[in-house]
Structure 1
Amino acid sequence: MVINKKIKRTMMESKSQYLGSLMLIIISCLLYTMFNQLTTNMVNLTSSFEKNYVQEDASFIADKKLDNIEDLESRFNMIIEETRSIDYLVSEDKTLRIFSENTKVNIPAIIEGNKLIGSDILIDPAFAKANKLKIGDSINIYGKDLKIAGFMSLPNYIYPIKSESDILNDPNRFGIAVISKDDFNEINKGSSFYTLKFNGDKKDVDNRIAQFKDYLKSENIIILKWTNIDENPRVTYVTLKIDGINQISTYMPVFILLLTCILTGIVMWRMLKREFILIGTLYALGYKKREIVKHYLTYPLSIALAGGIIGTILGAFTLRPMLNFMVMYFNIPVDYVSFDLKYVVISLLLPIFFLGISGYFVVNRALKYSPVELMKGGKEKGKVSFIERKLKLDRLKFSTKFKVREQLRSIPRSVFLLLGVVFATMLLLLGFASKSSMDFLMKDAYEDTYKYQYQYIFNSLQHGAPSNGEVFSISPFTLKSDSKTGFYVYGISPNSKYILLKDKQGNWLSTDKVIITKPLADKLGVKPHDTIKVVNKLDSKEYSITVDYIAETYTGEYIYMPLVEFNDMLKYPSDSYIGLWSSDKLNISESSLLSITTIDDFKKALDSTMQPLKSSIGIMAFISFIIGLIVIYVVTSLIIEENRESISLLKILGYRRKEVYSLILNSSSFIVLIGYILGVPLLLVSLRAMFKSVTKSMNFAFPVTIEYGYVFIGFVVIYLTYELSKFLSRRKINRISMAEALKASRE
């Protein structure tokens, strides 16, 4: 059509508005493509890894050696393999957990290099990179030189954390390795555990596990530790991370697209109001309604198509770097990178769908007027809104009255600005809230609650009083009513000096009572003196635990009870225990230990995690700055365009530049302030909901908080963004001449 020749000219006249829409669509499609393709690849890689390298269904530690493995495999239709492991101290703060090479279950996947031949060792790539180890280098393990043959991944150690209670991995200080069974026998140290994999249908795995446990019990074999694969944080953390990415890939791009729809709708409505007379003339010249609709829909659809293509291409280019970034944390072999065309199509169609619908409603609303009404400029010219009529603005100063009316006479524009500032605030403060929450967790758990420095877990029940340290025991449980809700019960010494717990009023709680932590109490809906029906994962027996107190702590989802009561409940010898806490390092034989954990390990891991978090804070601050700048600048441009005549008239009346700037550019100040104030609690609520969803299957609760200093810094960033957008908009005001008002009055 001939009228389509004006499309390019119209866009260039209001290029800031259309460019703002384009940038928002590019960001939205980039995030959608990148995160969804990343999720697809992570799911495919973990699934193939688990299948091809025979990931375990469960692992366990027994007090006796199993001598009839072949009979058990045949009897229960499963694969069992004995694995030996040892924690080798490379240095005072570096631990390398070495496993014997498995051939049936949890087979090591070679990422780079060769398989084990002779006296070789395979190391996980993150530990090797952090400690500057290369293929071909030699490592001395207990006096034996082992050559690094390659880098590997283990299906049961996808997220290599030292202890199951850890939430952060630190490759600088902890890594995993594999050596041959012959080399392990030659070292003659460490402990054993068993991994099993059921053949056939997986639907009845829980019953088959229960039958196997009953058999072990009938043979007087005590299970000291049992971990199903869906309870192993070294595997489940990957799923939780993927779920978190899924949430981001769903909500963030859609929210940005909604912002774009509001922006495009505002821009189009302003353009249509300006062209009412032109549209009426087109009707008079014989143009049909569908032709006019088609013409005006070209504006949003062209922006949607261009933004969708650019954003999708950029998202595709960022996939590989993001995948490499994820593999730094999750030890997965990357055999291939797939590209799902489904998400490419959706990424292209989403902006077209959203902007097409919003554009159609705006155009259709304008074309409801008759040609005569359009020729007169429409019905609503100069119409005062209901809210403006109700407000008593006559008592206010002219400047205040002008600013309030500016917002009330374009509610969609004000809503767009409010939502944009809220979104930018939430994105900006996301990193700050994460850092504040981790700082709070560190203080709550590792300064106020846990007073020990070393935690020793034995590979068999111990008896009698130790020469040093404080004894404790631990066992996993589930709710009787919900087997998916798991937690740990600790048996600790009365008046423990290493576990300090407080109630809601801040009073110290005596550890000679049964105490439940607040996160677990909230999850189970438990109050003091309530009785919980639970099932022990090790013996599958049912028990009842009556809670005395609730501890106000975020140290995890635990129940603490006196050790004597713990042993009596589980029918263990009264003087038995499984672990020791100590403030000093103890001289304990490595062959009798299952694991050694120190508080410093967690603190150092947290410090290590803070480094990439600081980078992510910078990235999120930059993205929020860009989005905030786009939104505020576009809204400011719209205000200037809609007030060209008023600005010109103010100049004729003798208003100075600063006064004009104040009237026009400062009219949105309180909207920006309200947006920021709303953004802070909305962020905290969203994070709490997200962490509650993500950690519901974990034995862990994550506190969500943000320090006031970070809130102030965030406000400064948002305010500076607002000031920058105003500064950039001054040129537009300066370009408006006094003649504009005269031209308008003549028309």
Structure 2
Amino acid sequence: MKLLFLKSLRTIRFNKIRYLGALVLIILSSALFTAFRTSGYSISNSLDAFWQEHRLADASFEINDNAGVNRFKSQDEELLEQYFDHAEKRYYADIKQNGVTLRLFSITEKLNIYQLKKGQAPQSSNQVLLDQSFADYHKIKINDHITINQHQAVVSGFFALPDYITVSANQNNITNDSDIFGLVLVKDINYWTDLYKTEYLVGLEGEKSYAQKDQIFKDFKQALQKRGYTPINWLESDLNSRVTSARGDISGFIEIGQILPIFILLVACFMLAIILNRQLLGEENVMGTLYAVGYAKKELLIHYLFLPFLLIALGTAVGGLSGYAFARALALIELSRYNFPVIVYAYNPLDMLIIFGIAFAMILPVMFFVVLNALKQPPLELMRGRGRRAKVSKIEKTAKIENLRFGLKFFIRDILRNFGRHMIMFLGMVISGMLLMIGLGILNSVNNIDNDIKKTYQYQHIYSFDSEIKFDQNEKGDDYFESIALAQFDGQYLKTNLRFVDADFKGITQRDKKTGKTIDYSTMIVSYSTAKHLGVKTGDKIKIIHKSLPFDDWEYEVEIISDYVLGDVIFFPKDILIEEFNKTYNTSFDNIYNVIISKTVLPDMEEADYTDIYDYLSKTIDQVLGALIAAILIIGVSAVLVAVALVYIIMDLVLEENKYNIALFKMFGYSSAKVNSLILNGGILFAAVGLILSYPLDLWFIGYILNRFTQGMSVMVNPVISWWTALIAFLAAATVYGLSRALAARRIAKVPIGEALKNNEQ
């Protein structure tokens, strides 16, 4: 065994470039795997611990009684204790100044308890805590002075709230609004304003199914109505986008980090297979000699599997440690998007074992098959080097290529006799091409949302009245009523926004996803993103479980699926809402709305929350792109490394296999250009076809990545790869191929004619 070990070291020394290329890919895949998992699970586990330890409320709500009072009478507060295990008041007020809204919160002790991230808790009435993301955006530091409602405040520290991971005034918004909205925690809210509101936080103990929670909430709402209270701004934690968007994004982030390394490992597997196969062909006489002197097949099998095993062990160890070191930097992709609590980074050695197991399971079986296939020959045949002889396949025998010109015959025979090597080039270029196009393809797809915005939203100025319902005949613009609901289909639940619009509504234009025709609003319309996330198609029946409206559950058949991708939305004719509302409350209203959408900015709308939908969605795009830039760079660097390593090693193997032919061509007087063409052109066809096939595969993969990464944002991103992106990817691949070809041509020039005189059969 000592002899075999020394031979392994000698093999590494003489083939170090080839094995180094494979090692680099294993290191890269392991580093990405451990970095994504470490950063992703550290954020996820820190969030889960934060929500548990700081008691994320199961629901929050406000109330109004018949007199318009915003809180319970003292004798009715027992309702909270009757239905919930924990309940607490929280006071809040929105202070608008200089184009910025500051939402002041009182300190709670039972539910939605804040976490102090830096500094110290407020000790006096004029000391406040700011959310970290708002402070970072506005460059506010601890001990700085800020003005709040004409009072001077001292920033004593930064904090995070369990129900405001996304810092946004609107609970339906999916991106941080830290430029115009911030959270402030105060010791005494009366010191800052008298115009504050009361919201109630409630929590349930123990594990309860969604159906159990929903029933408790329904019973509680009915009890409120019996006592003359109307619940408003009802918000369950499972439906709060400020919470769910972060939860969904993190799971998508982790999943992406587990897919990309698999692609790179596939390329490494292909490369090692062809490297080892070529090595075995070159060492047939050595294998035969070792057989003859008494080494068993098992010993030789272990010997030839030692190198792949060493590469896997070394690559996963070095890559795993590098990934741990890189995890904090990678986490910034997510940390920049939310107001997370303090993240505790946990480095789990199990991640290295997992990627080692994946690499082991992918690479070693292939290597085992390659080695076993070589060792099945008897010792005498191995010593004679029969495996190095060209094997004429049945296809080549039946193909009538004798009358073709020599260059074409050589090209066809090279493909038929080295089909395995060419297939590895093909598969490798498919994966390399996908990686090359992914980065710019993601940019194309996200930027294409801007086209969807302009195509869909004809009016851009939106005024929302939150909990206030309007019943007058609005003449300022188109109006609609929006509420939160759950859509249920086949055991799946999806948070959706219901929009009740008039039949002639013009603010939003939609087209039938199948026919492409513009549709009106006289029937139920399910947005494409809703249909995709819920898994429904035309003709399916879905249940609508209302959360903002006191209606029984509805069941509707999906009539039309539109091309709307900017949120999980279901559109209904407003007549349905008016009829149901009048029946429930015994009224006779002709119009109901809580949102106005207009082409122009409307005057005298201070009571409403204003959103420029173009600016809001553009900001969403910017935040997504900002978060993805690092990932795009990682993918781009990975693509270049994969392409360079793959093409260089394939070229190196081609030269080694054809030394005899190169010398023979030179002996017959072929020019250098002709020799280069004969030897190096065999792989061009497979490389080109691989790159072309990577385009449609990349469209699917980009769509998968983006919609996993943005799953908490409830939008659907249509994958797009522009022609110039494809051109850049093809040019990059062609450049790598061309440089490798140029290096190979220089090595061809150095092959001596004497190679043709060597006897390759020992």
Query: TM-score, normalised to structure 2's length?
Result: 0.90
Partner amino acid, structure 1, of 2:741? K
CA distance in 2, matches of 1:335, 1:607: 24
- Indicate the larger mover: 502-511 or 646-655: 502-511
The correspondence for 1:715, drawn from 702, 715, 730, is: 730
Deviations 1:705-726 (A, max 9, x none): 2222212222122221221222
Q: Does the aligned pair in 2 maintain the 1:455–1:598 contact within 8 Å?
A: no
Specify whether residues 240 and 410 from structure 1 end up closer, same or farther in structure 2 by C-alpha distance, changes over 3 A only. Answer: farther
CA distance in 1, matches of 2:98, 2:16: 61
Query: Given the alignment of the two structures, is residue 144 of structure 1 paired with residue 160 of structure 2, yes or no?
Result: no
Deviations 1:76-133 (A, max 9, x none): 23323333445545544x5444433333221221111111232223222222222211
CA distance in 1, matches of 2:655, 2:432: 23
Partner amino acid, structure 1, of 2:223? Y
Query: Given the alignment of the two structures, is residue 310 of structure 1 paired with residue 310 of structure 2, yes or no?
Result: no
The total of aligned residue pairs comes to: 743
The correspondence for 1:542, drawn from 533, 539, 553, is: 553
| Superposition RMSD in Å | 3.0
CA distance in 1, matches of 2:267, 2:511: 46
3-state DSSP of counterpart to 1:250: helix
CA distance in 1, matches of 2:128, 2:25: 50
- Indicate the larger mover: 129-138 or 374-383: 374-383
CA distance in 1, matches of 2:24, 2:408: 33
Specify whether residues 144 and 545 from structure 1 end up closer, same or farther in structure 2 by C-alpha distance, changes over 3 A only. Answer: farther
CA distance in 2, matches of 1:430, 1:87: 43
Partner amino acid, structure 1, of 2:48? S
3-state DSSP of counterpart to 1:286: coil
Could you say which residue in structure 1 is the equivalent of 2:649? 634
Q: Does the aligned pair in 2 maintain the 1:493–1:562 contact within 8 Å?
A: yes
Specify whether residues 11 and 388 from structure 1 end up closer, same or farther in structure 2 by C-alpha distance, changes over 3 A only. Answer: farther
Deviation at 1:695, TM superposition (A): 6.8
Q: Does the aligned pair in 2 maintain the 1:85–1:99 contact within 8 Å?
A: yes
- Indicate the larger mover: 112-121 or 573-582: 573-582
- Indicate the larger mover: 712-721 or 448-457: 448-457
- Indicate the larger mover: 559-568 or 312-321: 559-568
Deviation at 1:644, TM superposition (A): 1.0
Deviation at 1:315, TM superposition (A): 0.9
CA distance in 1, matches of 2:721, 2:196: 44
CA distance in 2, matches of 1:288, 1:561: 76
Q: Does the aligned pair in 2 maintain the 1:191–1:459 contact within 8 Å?
A: no
Deviation at 1:22, TM superposition (A): 0.7
Q: Does the aligned pair in 1 maintain the 2:165–2:340 contact within 8 Å?
A: yes
Could you say which residue in structure 1 is the equivalent of 2:501? 492
Unmatched 5+ residue regions in structure 2? none
- Indicate the larger mover: 353-362 or 296-305: 353-362
Could you say which residue in structure 2 is the equivalent of 1:421? 429
The correspondence for 1:104, drawn from 104, 110, 114, is: 110
Could you say which residue in structure 1 is the equivalent of 2:135? 128
* 1:277-356 matches, cutoff 5 A: 277-334=285-342, 336-356=344-364
Deviation at 1:450, TM superposition (A): 4.3
* 1:701-712 matches, cutoff 5 A: 701-712=716-727
- Indicate the larger mover: 531-540 or 482-491: 531-540
Deviations 1:159-193 (A, max 9, x none): 3345344444354x244312326335632346554
Deviation at 1:484, TM superposition (A): 0.9
The correspondence for 1:554, drawn from 546, 552, 565, is: 565
Specify whether residues 401 and 194 from structure 1 end up closer, same or farther in structure 2 by C-alpha distance, changes over 3 A only. Answer: farther
Could you say which residue in structure 2 is the equivalent of 1:568? 579
Could you say which residue in structure 1 is the equivalent of 2:467? 459
- Indicate the larger mover: 1-10 or 61-70: 61-70
- Indicate the larger mover: 361-370 or 581-590: 581-590
Deviations 1:493-525 (A, max 9, x none): 442342223345555433455433334356464
Query: Given the alignment of the two structures, is residue 33 of structure 1 paired with residue 34 of structure 2, yes or no?
Result: yes
Q: Does the aligned pair in 2 maintain the 1:35–1:246 contact within 8 Å?
A: yes
Q: Does the aligned pair in 2 maintain the 1:425–1:679 contact within 8 Å?
A: yes
* 1:301-450 matches, cutoff 5 A: 301-334=309-342, 336-378=344-386, 381-450=389-458
Q: Does the aligned pair in 2 maintain the 1:85–1:192 contact within 8 Å?
A: yes
Query: Given the alignment of the two structures, is residue 246 of structure 1 paired with residue 254 of structure 2, yes or no?
Result: yes
Deviation at 1:473, TM superposition (A): 0.8
Deviations 1:222-244 (A, max 9, x none): 33443322222222222322322
Specify whether residues 496 and 617 from structure 1 end up closer, same or farther in structure 2 by C-alpha distance, changes over 3 A only. Answer: same
Could you say which residue in structure 2 is the equivalent of 1:736? 751
Q: Does the aligned pair in 1 maintain the 2:249–2:712 contact within 8 Å?
A: no
Q: Does the aligned pair in 2 maintain the 1:272–1:363 contact within 8 Å?
A: yes
Deviation at 1:39, TM superposition (A): 2.8
Q: Does the aligned pair in 2 maintain the 1:162–1:169 contact within 8 Å?
A: no
Q: Does the aligned pair in 1 maintain the 2:500–2:572 contact within 8 Å?
A: yes
Deviations 1:523-542 (A, max 9, x none): 464548x8754332233512
Deviation at 1:624, TM superposition (A): 0.6
3-state DSSP of counterpart to 1:287: coil
Deviation at 1:628, TM superposition (A): 0.9
CA distance in 1, matches of 2:612, 2:110: 29
The correspondence for 1:665, drawn from 670, 680, 688, is: 680
- Indicate the larger mover: 504-513 or 461-470: 504-513
Q: Does the aligned pair in 2 maintain the 1:263–1:413 contact within 8 Å?
A: no
Deviations 1:10-43 (A, max 9, x none): 2232222111111111111111211222232122
Could you say which residue in structure 1 is the equivalent of 2:166? 159
Identity among equivalent positions (%) equals 27
Q: Does the aligned pair in 2 maintain the 1:121–1:147 contact within 8 Å?
A: yes
CA distance in 1, matches of 2:455, 2:92: 31
Deviation at 1:483, TM superposition (A): 6.2
3-state DSSP of counterpart to 1:188: coil
Partner amino acid, structure 2, of 1:553? Y
Could you say which residue in structure 1 is the equivalent of 2:739? 724
Query: Given the alignment of the two structures, is residue 229 of structure 1 paired with residue 237 of structure 2, yes or no?
Result: yes
Query: Given the alignment of the two structures, is residue 187 of structure 1 paired with residue 188 of structure 2, yes or no?
Result: no
Q: Does the aligned pair in 2 maintain the 1:480–1:542 contact within 8 Å?
A: no
Query: TM-score, normalised to structure 1's length?
Result: 0.91
Specify whether residues 108 and 553 from structure 1 end up closer, same or farther in structure 2 by C-alpha distance, changes over 3 A only. Answer: same
Deviation at 1:625, TM superposition (A): 0.9
Partner amino acid, structure 1, of 2:756? A
Specify whether residues 192 and 724 from structure 1 end up closer, same or farther in structure 2 by C-alpha distance, changes over 3 A only. Answer: farther
CA distance in 2, matches of 1:697, 1:401: 57
CA distance in 1, matches of 2:403, 2:132: 71
Q: Does the aligned pair in 2 maintain the 1:168–1:602 contact within 8 Å?
A: no
3-state DSSP of counterpart to 1:459: coil
CA distance in 1, matches of 2:740, 2:358: 29
Unmatched 5+ residue regions in structure 1? none
Q: Does the aligned pair in 1 maintain the 2:134–2:181 contact within 8 Å?
A: yes
CA distance in 2, matches of 1:428, 1:212: 55
